[in-house]
Each structure stands twice: as C-alpha cells, then as structure tokens.
Structure 1
C-alpha cells in the first residue's frame, strides 16, 4: 500500500519531491537546529511550542515520569541477558507497566494524554537499563532534574558532555515523526479500534523492529565497515546491485531528492567531529552516489537519515546495539502523538484488499 490517503492529520507531513518535512506548521529540521527535545515533544502532543513557563513545567513533568518503578527495574534485572536486545526489553516493560491500562475509547482526553506521556517518558530509561544489564552492569537511575536527552546519554554511557548531548538532541528531534511510516500507521490502526495506549505503542514497535524500518542505522554503519577504504566503494556497490541486494542507508520510499534529515546530520557530524569515521562516511557517500548514477543513469538515490545517524551515534559514544533503540526513544513521541489523534476520531481503520486469486463460484463444489 503506497500513497493511499487513509485519514487527515495535523501532526505533520513529508513532501518527498521537495525534500521537506514538518511537525505541525514548523520546518522539522529548523526545530532540530534551534529547539530542545522536550519543547518539540510539547508541540507534538499539545499542538503548540511552549512559552518559558510551559517549557519548564513540561520538562519537569517528563523528568518525573522518566523514573522507573522498582517492579519494572526488578523485572528487567530478572530477564535481561546478553542476548536480549534493548527494544525487546522495552516491549516487555511496556506490557508490564500497562497491564491494567484501560481502553483509549473509555478514557478522557486528559487521561489519554497522561498515558502517552508516561510511556514515552520511560522509554529511554528502559532502553538504557537493558543495555547496561546486557553488559553485566547495573542500572543507572534516571535523574528527574536533567534534560531528557542528557539523561538518556548519561544512563546509557555514564558520560554526557554538552557537545554530545547537543548532537544527539539534533538527531532525536529529526526522527520524532516522519509521516505515515509503517510503525506510525500500525500504531494508529491499533488505536483506531479503541484499544489501550500500550497496545497501540506495541503495535508500532512491532513494525519498527523490522530491518527495513527502524533496524537500518546499524546496518548502514556496518556497510561502511565492510567497504573499508572508500576506494573500494564502487566495486562494493556493483556487487550489491548485481546480487539484487539493498544498499542500506541509501534511498527512501518518499524522498526523490536529498533526505533533509541526512543533510542536517551530515552538517552536524562534519562540523563537530574531525574523525576518520566522518571523513570515510562523506567519501563513501559521494562514491556510492556516483556508482549508482553510473550503473543506473537517471535513478535518484541519495543517503537517507540512517547513513549519518549511525555515524553520529557512534561519535557520541553509543554502540551499534543502541542505534535502533535510540531511534525508538525519539519515535515513540511521534507514535503517541499519532495515537492520541487517532483515538480522538473514534473511528476504526478498515481498509479493503483486492482479491487476485481464482474466480470464486457460488454454491456446491467438488473437493
């Protein structure tokens, strides 16, 4: 299903031909350059950018909600092993925290909003805790007085210097929402039935776990490692195309020009980090684009957000195992905003399929 309009939204849109996307009425990349994560979160949930008093109150509320219950921490300590991925732990924690959650259909608008904030706020704490437990380390408790991005990086890596927090905040804001992608649509389908907030988030998370969606940042960085010397790039691309394989970190279902998120993240990493990884990434990007133009003239295929996301997250100290979970920490804000909008409609999404099997016959038939 592609380019099928299923509902109206005031949350945002992606204009693929223009290389532009927005949250509400604001340019999303400009928000990422100039705003705090919590302020954009406020915009997504409440529809407006907060004034100073509202900003402080909202950040304080999110900080308090970021604290995990002792029962959830104990659950994570019992089940997380080196084999358990952080998003699998998040799936379990959300299901546990929401075991008594009532259907959205039966909640007031305020109650629905409370649930949205609660579950989105604990996501970074759960992800960071699961990461540390999988490494044989103990959980670092959330600090309700810290900023959301700073606290997430501290809980994950112990350190959170200002440059790293600023770079990561830019990335997280760029990935809060992005139109009716697969996970957002999945969450809205669940919400349209009147189901509860946690089930709606878990529906979105299930779609997000697929490597064609949320799982790409680590794979894009792995491709950089596989290529090694940028001089190897064109031969590598030829081999991938000949084998009919996807070039992770390149191309997008909507954009037909440069991905504005990738362009912004490239700007951030080249300005902040003079490292061999950044230099190799920019060289490989140019070589891949040139190779694709050579092999498939006229095909427009450019770096997408995952290509530079992996580079940025590596530079701020996050390991590849945390790339997709970090993406999820941002996207859960967009999921919950969409769930709230869908729940307010109180109409179930009921598409139809086009049957393409043998012609059916009425009446009795021979077996």
Structure 2
C-alpha cells in the first residue's frame, strides 16, 4: 500500500515576503557607525563626512571614532597611538609560520586568513558571547593593529626579503609603506595612501561587513568574524577589483580606444571593471576624492585615467541609456596606489588594512545584540515529501 500523501505545513519559507535579489534596499538592522546615501553620492562615519575625514584626518583618528564613539583629542590620540603600537608586533608563532605561509602561494589575503586563525589560537581569543565589552574591544584592537604587519611581512617573505618591523613614530599610512619597503615614503605618497585608507575604512552593509556581522551574531570570536569577512572581501566583485580596474586601463591604453573597448566588453558579456556601483546612482564620492589625489600626484597614468574615464562613461551611457554608470572607487584606487609604487598584488591587501577597522567596529556593535542573524530562503526544488525509493 502506498504511503499517504502529506501536505506540507506552511513554514517561514512559504509565508515570508520575498526580498529583492542581493537584498538590495532591505534594512536588516540598525547601526550608529555610518551610512551610504547612494542617491546623493554621500557617505559618512558617525556624524562626519567620510570624504572630509579623508582630507583632514588619519586612520587612527577614524579608528578611534568608530571604535570609541568620538574623534580623539590630541591627548586621546597620543594615548591611543601608544596603546596600538605594541599590538602591531607579530607573536613568535606567526613569525615562525611566515615562511610556510609564504611558500604555500596563493593570494596575500589567503595567507592572512590562515595567519589570523593561527593568531587566534596562539593568543586564546575567546567568543565574544563570553567576553565583556572591554575584552571584546581589546581583541578587536589587536586584530586591527596586526593585520598590516602580517600582510607586509607575507609580501616581503614571498619576495625573499626579511620582514620590516613597524615603527612607533609613524601613523598607519606611513607605517604601511615603511613595512613594505623599509624606506620612508615621500610625504606626497603617504598623504595619498592615507586618504585612500581613511576613505575605505567602512562603507555600509557591503558583503564583507555583513558577513562579519553574521558571524559575530553567532557569538563567535573577533578573529573568526574577520576571517569570514576576508573570504567575502577576496572576491573580484568586492575588494578584489582594484588591480582588475587598472588592468582594464592598461588594455585600453589610449583614450581613443575606450569606446571600442567598452563595446567589446559588453558584447562578450563581461563587466566593465571600475565602473558602476551597487549603491551609488551618481558619482562615487571616493572616486572623486581619488581622482583629485591622482592628479595631485601627477604623471602619465593619472592623465590617461581621467581621459579614459570620460570616454568610458560616455560609451556606457550610449550603450545603457537610463543607467548611471560612473567610475567607482576601484578605478582610481589602482591609479593612486600604482603611482605611489605599490605593485598590483598589494592593492587589495592595502584595502584590507583599512577595512579591518570597519569590520571590527561592526563586530563590536553586533556583539551587543543577543539575536542571531537567521534569514529564510524560499524553497524552489521538487515538491516534498515523496516516498523514499
């Protein structure tokens, strides 16, 4: 006798409202850390314009702002810098592992994920659920401080060079360039990289930030949340784009080639890397800032980038009328970093040295919420149940 037919009971997946693809425009929680207003071409960290901060403040200022709630005074900043300095130093377990991680190959972010997992194990990082706010903040501070040191050390070790220790007298931007080269960078390069780092600390609920918050909502430790964020960040549709945007500029080579190149990409079904954004419907303010920065640095690459940008935007407007496709942050990020002497394989790691500050701020904020993030999915497979053969 055949088994009786059982009608499925309504579940969250059959009664919940449908969300738009990619959760576009869906509000999933509240945050005091900042916001992106895409229609206006504006974003901010707490109550301050992020672009204004990038023009006038350091990474440490913004780090303090996001993690401690206000911009530091001169005295508070000095104390914060003194607090951060020893946390930049690699523990012996990581120093010993550098040759193995470097020899394993892969991207610098892959090495960083492994190194941070080792750091968490070596230093006994505990779940945020079990920690006081002060202990969580201490773990976040350690992770943010050590990430640039790990990335720079991995880069140099892979190149057959000894790591360069961080310096207590340099800010985050200058220290990053110092640890990569062992040479003090020109002030113009430090200023340009500093602007880029401050402008990329945070940017709403992007894929990696949301990933960090999902993991933090489970009560996992800070390191686990950051490692998960790094996995999302490594994708070429997210943090892994600056080198591809610069590659595209190299393929175009001359402004007169720009329109034809755009049509070739679209005809082949490929993305035009460096243009368009999931949120902005007007100019990306980070791109505007970095275009200005690139022109201040000067050089043929910046001039080519500006000329090509105009032609690409015009070609996209012709090919996709009604859609506002402008240069995004990745387009000029590659130009600025290349002009400052950074190799393409360092573009995404440079981005990560700033974004980790934003990830950790979100982890700390999420840790205050006792609810786990647990959305539903709408099932679209074969009807169930059927008898098992």
Q: Give 1:60 deviation, angstroms.
A: 1.5
Q: TM-score, normalised by structure 1?
A: 0.97
Q: How is 1:310-325 mapped onto 2 (pairs within 5 angstroms)?
A: 310-325=334-349
Contact 1:63–1:148 (8 Å) recurs in 2? no
Q: How is 1:162-201 mapped onto 2 (pairs within 5 angstroms)?
A: 162-201=187-226
Contact 2:93–2:119 (8 Å) recurs in 1? no
Contact 1:84–1:134 (8 Å) recurs in 2? no
Separation (CA, whole Å) in 2 of partners of 1:338 and 1:354? 28
Contact 2:101–2:154 (8 Å) recurs in 1? no
Q: Give 1:82 deviation, angstroms.
A: 8.0
Q: How is 1:124-163 mapped onto 2 (pairs within 5 angstroms)?
A: 124-159=148-183, 160-163=185-188
Q: Residue 222 of structure 1: which of 242, 247, 267 is its match?
A: 247
- 1:153-208 Cα deviation digits (max 9, x unpaired): 11112332211111100000000000000000001000000011110111111100
Q: How is 1:264-303 mapped onto 2 (pairs within 5 angstroms)?
A: 264-271=289-296, 273-303=297-327
Task: Could you tell me which runs of 5 or more consecutive residues in structure 2 were left unpaired when the two chains were aligned.
Answer: 1-22
Partner of 2:43: 21
| Secondary structure in structure 2 of the residue aligned to 1:344 | coil
Separation (CA, whole Å) in 2 of partners of 1:259 and 1:120? 26
Matched, 1:53 2:75: yes
- Shifted more, 162-171 versus 348-357: the winner is 348-357
Q: Give 1:357 deviation, angstroms.
A: 2.7
- Shifted more, 75-84 versus 22-31: the winner is 75-84
Separation (CA, whole Å) in 1 of partners of 2:175 and 2:359? 21
Contact 1:82–1:135 (8 Å) recurs in 2? no
Q: TM-score, normalised by structure 2?
A: 0.91
| Secondary structure in structure 2 of the residue aligned to 1:14 | strand
Q: How is 1:27-38 mapped onto 2 (pairs within 5 angstroms)?
A: 27-38=49-60
**Which entry has the higher C-alpha Rg, 1 or 2?**
2
- 1:103-138 Cα deviation digits (max 9, x unpaired): 100000000000001011001111111111111111
Task: Could you tell me which runs of 5 or more consecutive residues in structure 1 were left unpaired when the two chains were aligned.
Answer: none
Matched, 1:231 2:253: no
- Shifted more, 294-303 versus 15-24: the winner is 294-303
Separation (CA, whole Å) in 2 of partners of 1:74 and 1:222? 35
Partner of 1:113: 137
Separation (CA, whole Å) in 1 of partners of 2:39 and 2:127? 39
Contact 1:82–1:134 (8 Å) recurs in 2? no
Q: CA RMSD in A?
A: 1.2
Q: Give 1:50 deviation, angstroms.
A: 0.5
- In structure 2, do the counterparts of structure 1 residues 114 and 240 end up closer, same or farther at CA, with 3 Å as the change threshold? same
| Secondary structure in structure 2 of the residue aligned to 1:4 | coil
Q: Residue 333 of structure 2: which of 302, 309, 312 is its match?
A: 309
Contact 2:89–2:166 (8 Å) recurs in 1? yes
Contact 1:157–1:317 (8 Å) recurs in 2? no
| Secondary structure in structure 2 of the residue aligned to 1:21 | strand
- Shifted more, 91-100 versus 249-258: the winner is 91-100
Q: Give 1:231 deviation, angstroms.
A: 0.9
Q: Give 1:12 deviation, angstroms.
A: 0.6
Which of structure 1's runs of 4+ aligned residues deviate more than 6 A?
none
- 1:204-263 Cα deviation digits (max 9, x unpaired): 111001111010000000001111112111110000011111011000000000000000
Partner of 1:42: 64
Contact 1:91–1:202 (8 Å) recurs in 2? yes
Q: Residue 333 of structure 1: which of 351, 357, 360 is its match?
A: 357
Q: How is 1:196-211 mapped onto 2 (pairs within 5 angstroms)?
A: 196-211=221-236
Separation (CA, whole Å) in 1 of partners of 2:379 and 2:93? 48
